[in-house]
């Protein structure tokens, strides 16, 4: 009997870091589920590109902040590809405008918390039974630089609170699921912006970024290659970790009034 390929579900993967991760996992031989909210055209183009690599791919719409969307997403992936082996929780709303907590509306707070914490927990909850049945699974959460230190982040109160809560959840889930062959880790990307999210390291390594201690801007490949490693068959002894992939950049900078970020 031919063994089923591993299936990877990557939320928010029509563009950016999610797209680079989807391509990397497809190259490693995984079937892929692309998830998008509004970027249907990009998602379907990416799906065709991935299928040309010789693996299966689905492009499914759904907002991680909406429980019904995620339930339908997981059910469809399971029906058409046999299950979910790898779950990459890449999607998460972020408001780049700098605002004090009191300036957020109740709707803003609810959406940021659901998109960055509660929705991730729900999606993990849906995927875990499938992983347990096969005694194998990989879950990746996304945070921000130095999230594990739980420092205050002025003007990012809700987003930071959700991600710091996700740090604790990552570590707890890693311990609970380790006996079942399931690893749970968090990746904390640096400030990778715009087109660089879909670039290789070779495309940015000769550029200068004066804010980065490394001296160059980050690229999507920086993140995708770490995720590929964590999802590998022999990476089962690496779990419960929060990994900064940031070139040494501190996004908070310890200065509440800093004009950067």
Question: How many C-beta atoms surround the C-beta of residue 3 within 10 A?
Answer: 5
The pLDDT-based confidence of 256 (bands split at 50, 70, 90) is very low
CB 164 within 8 A of CB 218: no
The domain 7-245 is placed in CATH, from the list 3.40.630.30, 3.60.20.30, 3.40.50.720, 3.40.449.10, at: 3.40.50.720
The pLDDT-based confidence of 253 (bands split at 50, 70, 90) is low
Element (H, E) at 9: strand 7-10
Asked whether the predicted pLDDT for residue 254 surpasses 50, the reply is no
Q: Is 62 left (phi over 0), alpha (psi -120 to 50) or beta?
A: left
* pLDDT tens figures, 205-232: 999 988 888 999 999 999 999 999 999 9
* pLDDT tens figures, 155-212: 999 999 999 999 999 999 999 999 999 999 999 998 898 999 999 999 999 999 888 8
**Comparing C-alpha atoms, which of 113, 115, 138, 117 is closest to residue 128?**
138
Q: What letter does residue 117 receive in the DSSP assignment?
A: I
Q: Domain ranges in the chain?
A: 7-245
Q: Specify the pLDDT at position 4.
A: 78
């Amino acid at each position: 009997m031919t063994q089923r390929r591993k299936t990877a579900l990557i939320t928010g993967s029509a563009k950016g870091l999610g797209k680079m991760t989807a391509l990397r996992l497809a190259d490693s031989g995984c079937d892929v589920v692309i998830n998008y909210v509004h970027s249907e055209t990009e998602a379907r183009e990416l799906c065709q590109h991935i299928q040309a690599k010789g693996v299966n791919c689905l492009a499914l719409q759904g907002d991680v902040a909406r429980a019904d969307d995620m339930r339908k997403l997981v059910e469809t992936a399971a029906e058409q590809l046999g299950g979910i082996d790898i779950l990459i929780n890449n999607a998460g709303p972020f408001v780049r405008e700098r605002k004090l907590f009191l300036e957020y509306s109740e709707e803003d707070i609810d959406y940021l918390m659901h998109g960055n914490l509660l929705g991730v927990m729900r999606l993990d909850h849906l995927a875990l039974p499938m992983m347990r049945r096969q005694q194998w699974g990989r879950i990746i959460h996304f945070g921000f630089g130095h999230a594990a230190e739980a420092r205050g982040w002025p003007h990012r109160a809700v987003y930071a609170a959700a991600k710091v809560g996700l740090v604790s959840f990552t570590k707890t889930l890693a311990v609970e699921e380790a006996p079942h062959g399931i690893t749970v880790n968090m990746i904390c990307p640096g400030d990778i912006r715009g087109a660089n999210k879909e670039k290789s390291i070779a495309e940015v390594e000769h550029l200068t970024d004066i804010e980065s201690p490394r001296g160059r801007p980050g690229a999507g490949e920086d993140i995708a290659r770490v995720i590929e490693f964590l999802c590998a068959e022999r990476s089962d002894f690496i779990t419960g970790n929060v990994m900064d992939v940031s070139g040494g950049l501190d996004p908070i900078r310890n200065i509440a009034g800093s004009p950067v970020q």
